[in-house]
Amino acid sequence: MALLKNPQILIASDLRDGEALFLGADGWARDHKSAAVARDSQEAAALEARGKGEIAANRVVDVYLADVGLEADGSPTPLHYREKMRIKGPSVRPDLGKQARAAQSGDAK
């Protein structure tokens, strides 16, 4: 069991609407803070294996591990630009996805 340089989470795209999903303990979540965090290579391999099963079941596509930092409360925050953009929602259609729901609920930042 080798520790990873950075913790990782598993990200995918929902086949129904294309929105970014994050694999958590109970399945896919739309909030990255619910993602299961791998801290070593064995945990990362387990996440990848679950992701491959989800691809085979035609639930998601574009599954990959992404490096994250951990907030004080233990929630993961992406380290790279691509994943930082994916947690916000589609950049070309602010009327869709996460940012649209945030605007409707008054949580827009």
pLDDT tens, position by position, 49-62? 999 999 999 999 99
Assess if residue 62 is contained within a domain: yes
Look at residue 38 and give its three-state secondary structure.
Answer: strand
Report if residue 109 sits inside a domain: no
Residue 31 in any domain: the answer is yes
* pLDDT over 70 at 98, yes or no: yes
Question: Picking from 9-18, 54-63, 93-102, which range would have the lowest pLDDT averaged per residue?
Answer: 93-102
Question: Would residue 97 be called left, alpha or beta, if left means φ above 0 and alpha means ψ between -120 and 50 degrees?
Answer: left
Q: Which domain holds residue 75?
A: 3-104
Residue 96 placed within a domain: yes
Specify the number of domains making up the chain. 1
88 lies in some domain: yes
pTM of the entire structure? 0.85
Categorize the per-residue pLDDT at 109 as very low, low, confident or very high, splitting at 50, 70 and 90: low
